[in-house]
Amino acid sequence: MEINILPPLPLSASYEGTFAYYTIRDRLPAILSKIADTVFRKKNETGEEGREDLKSIVGRISKLRNELQTDKPLIQIEDTRSDTDVWNQELHRREIRAEAPPSWFKSPWLYVECYMYRRVEEAVKMSKILTTMDVFEELKQSSFLDSQAATINLMMFLLETVKKLQKDASHQDLYKLFQCFVQVSLWGNKCDLSISGGSDNAQTSPLIEQLHLLEDNIIIDDIAQVWQCLQDAKSKSGQPGRVDIVLDNAGFECITDLCLAEFLLSANIASSIHFHLKAMPWFVSDLTQSDWDWTIQKLCSSNNLAMSKFGSKWKQLVKNGSWVLHADDFWTMPFSYSEMSHFAPELYKQLGTSSIVFLKGDLNYRKLVGDLNWDTTTPFEVSLQGFHPAPLCSLRTLKADVVVGLKPGRAKEIATKEKDWMVTGNWAVISFCSKVC
């Protein structure tokens, strides 16, 4: 007889001392203050109407910060964006289910944190002329520019790798190179501006040279299964298949993801790469279409040979359809991915055509596992709660106090090395699930 076990409770700021509590109490108000300061500094860059918009945005952000700090009930979103009705329906649904309006410190952390960033977008959307402004743009661009030395080092390595592959596509070290570029993409995730509260979090040292030092901090390493999955897909159809990458941060992390994608194509491991970006500014440093365009332009105009060469090449790959960009609203919804088939059935169907879906970063991981208080030994497949459109691989450095798939005793062992190990970004997982429903 099969026994259905109820999933654990969501992470929430209602539990004092948790990272969720610290986030709602300290980190999010600090981010909102930084947004208000950034917007206010733009007052001399626009005309009178623009200054009125900036004043309006700052006012709405300040009001939002006050609501958060005083644990006011969440209120409906008022703009006319395409997702507004879904957000308001979800707010109503949660109010009915809990018999009380959702609030910052009592409701699930994932929901209220997503809601905050949606309210930031609302503050911009309610403007008259500045409706497309990205309040995080300067931070993201500074992070990219401050990571130039590390970017050049990585892209020169990529250039040499591609040259070797052109001479010998069946390069004897192909698996090691695959492992290298996956780890590069993995550790690129340390550069997260939402964790640093918008403070400088650039990559300032060569990442390739650090990989061997970081290997012991990969506490789940399913890289061999990921490799086998891609090889099996190629064997089954006689040619490499589609690979999807659900992106996370702009800046240096984006560069690491593009380098992984370039390697997969150059090594004939993938035939096309489908990138999933955010449809609005999100969690400070998440990548939008505007960030993508700016990054490619910066690469193309660089004086560095590797940067300009790949910038031009990647621009062409988008044009010829080898690289495809998507920005579905679902990625900026408050739902766990187990709800995708209900709220975004077409997206779920699209992902089902992929040989493998890489999901980058901490927020994607939280949404994969529902941001629930799972025991650390819970199998990854169980925590997905039925989300299996295609084989999945999470590449994530830990910045929230949830992780699954560990062996018994492993969590305690790591805690002896670093007390707050789940939230520092110093530990990482390459978690794979092959099951497809």
Q: Which tens digit of pLDDT belongs to each residue from 251-267?
A: 999 999 999 999 999 99
By the 8 A CB rule, do 402 and 20 touch? no
The pLDDT score that the predictor gives to residue 202 is 60
**Residue 296 to residues 126, 255, 291, 303, 308: CA-CA distances in angstroms?**
30, 10, 9, 14, 9
Q: What share of the chain is helix, strand, coil (3-state, %, to 5)?
A: 50, 10, 35
* pLDDT bracket for residue 98 (50, 70, 90): confident
Q: What is the model's pTM?
A: 0.95
The Cα–Cα gap between 244 and 351 comes to 7
Is residue 203 over pLDDT 80? no
Q: Which tens digit of pLDDT belongs to each residue from 308-360?
A: 999 999 999 999 999 999 999 999 999 999 999 999 999 999 999 999 999 99
Q: What is the average per-residue pLDDT within 2-15?
A: 79
Q: Which tens digit of pLDDT belongs to each residue from 345-355?
A: 999 999 999 99
Query: Which among 353, 170, 194 has a CA at the least distance from the CA of 278?
Result: 194
Is residue 164 over pLDDT 50? yes
Q: What is the average per-residue pLDDT within 22-37?
A: 97
The CATH number of 137-433, from 3.90.920.20, 3.20.20.70, 3.40.50.10880, 1.10.357.10, is: 3.40.50.10880
Q: What is the average per-residue pLDDT within 177-188?
A: 96
SS3 call for 277: coil
By the 8 A CB rule, do 239 and 270 touch? no
By the 8 A CB rule, do 206 and 415 touch? no
Question: Could you tell me the residue ranges of all domains in the chain?
Answer: 19-125, 137-433
Is residue 125 over pLDDT 50? yes
The pLDDT score that the predictor gives to residue 48 is 85
The pLDDT score that the predictor gives to residue 195 is 47
Is residue 2 over pLDDT 60? no
By the 8 A CB rule, do 222 and 297 touch? no
The pLDDT score that the predictor gives to residue 207 is 87
Query: Which of 35-44, 176-185, 191-200, 273-282 is predicted with the least confidence, judged by mean pLDDT?
Result: 191-200
Rounded to the nearest 5°, which phi and psi values hold at 47? -75, -170
Output the average pLDDT for the chain: 93
Query: Which of 17-21, 275-279, 432-436 is predicted with the least confidence, judged by mean pLDDT?
Result: 432-436
19-125 under CATH 2.40.70.10, yes or no: no
The DSSP element (H or E) to which 32 belongs, if any, is: helix 28-40
Is residue 4 over pLDDT 80? no
Q: What is the average per-residue pLDDT within 229-249?
A: 95
Going across the sheet that includes 241-246, the strands are 218-221, 428-433, 392-397, 356-360, 241-246, 270-276, 323-326
The Cα–Cα gap between 229 and 388 comes to 14
The Cα–Cα gap between 227 and 39 comes to 45
Domains 19-125 and 137-433 are alike in CATH topology: no
